[in-house]
Amino acid sequence: MQSLAQEIQGFSKGRLKKQITHVTTVTGKKLLERRRDGGGEGEVETVEELEEGSGCGFVEDKSLDLQVGVVRPFLLLGSQDAAHDIDTLRRYKVSHVLNVAYGVSNLLPDQMVYKTLQILDLPEMEITSYLQECGSFIDQAREQDGVVLVHCNAGVSRSASIVIGYLMSREGLSFEDAYSQVKLARPSTHPNPGFYRQLQNYKP
């Protein structure tokens, strides 16, 4: 019977099974890699790129978010997808658009009244400093018997915070009541932690 030392001495790299590894890159590309025959330790080569759909990995969601939250008959909340969809704008009779996204253009500047404020969705941004200006624009739409769509990129944090602040300042609602009403109208509503705290402490 061979000793362990003899087995180790008699071991050759050629007796190893070829190692094949499934790799998913940060961009979602799926590769098969194996150790190169006769190569040094750690050397690998790409055998093939896998077809889309084979193996596991994340799937990019490219579907449009056209869900519009009707907070009040004159006040709507949505994403940039809704703001860029003509059918959606017509269905909800939108006349005014409050764009608080960063780097998002306005679709119909000759047909609707737009106000654009490029706000970053960062907790340290002072979202409450924009509430008065945004509130005046929403009031303007209401006075003109219009319908205003407030949107950012996803319609989740910045625009939702603006709408929550509007209800607090114009209707005297508490943060909790305003938040719950906006959340009911658009369930994806989720202000970032900084905006959330600012609105909790907001005194119109």
The answer to whether the CB of 187 falls within 8 A of the CB of 78 is: no
Q: Return the structure tokens found at 27.
A: 């961009």
For residue 147, give the DSSP letter: -
Place of tokens 């005014």: 96
Going by their DSSP bridges, the two strands 75-78 and 148-151 should be labelled as parallel
**Residue in 101, 149, 152, 163 annotated catalytic:** 152
Closest C-alpha among 145, 144, 151, 138 to residue 85: 151
73: part of which helix (H) or strand (E)? Answer: none
> Has 56 been annotated as catalytic?
no
Active site residues: 152
